[in-house]
């Protein structure tokens, strides 16, 4: 997992990883902080409103 706080940088780095065939996933810091699931790396839709 590659975590960052800038969407444009994450998109750029994600493209580089994809072209290199690397399965590493990029995530914005807010996605990690807002995750309410036990496994935030699990693929699938996020909850509509993850905050209480």
Q: What is this structure's pTM?
A: 0.62
> Is the CB of residue 47 less than 8 Å from the CB of residue 41?
no
List Cβ neighbours of 1 (8 Å cut-off, separation of 6 or more).
Answer: 24, 25, 26, 27, 41
Task: Please report the pLDDT score of residue 13 as a whole number.
Answer: 95
Give the tens place of pLDDT for each residue, 6-41: 999 999 999 999 999 999 999 999 988 887 766 656
List Cβ neighbours of 22 (8 Å cut-off, separation of 6 or more).
Answer: none
Q: How many CB atoms lie within 10 A of CB 26?
A: 20
């Amino acid at each position: 997992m590659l975590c960052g706080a800038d969407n444009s940088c994450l998109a750029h780095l994600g493209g580089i990883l994809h072209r290199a065939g690397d399965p590493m996933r990029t995530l914005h810091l807010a996605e990690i902080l807002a995750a309410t699931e036990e496994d935030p790396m699990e693929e699938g839709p996020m909850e509509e409103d993850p905050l209480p």
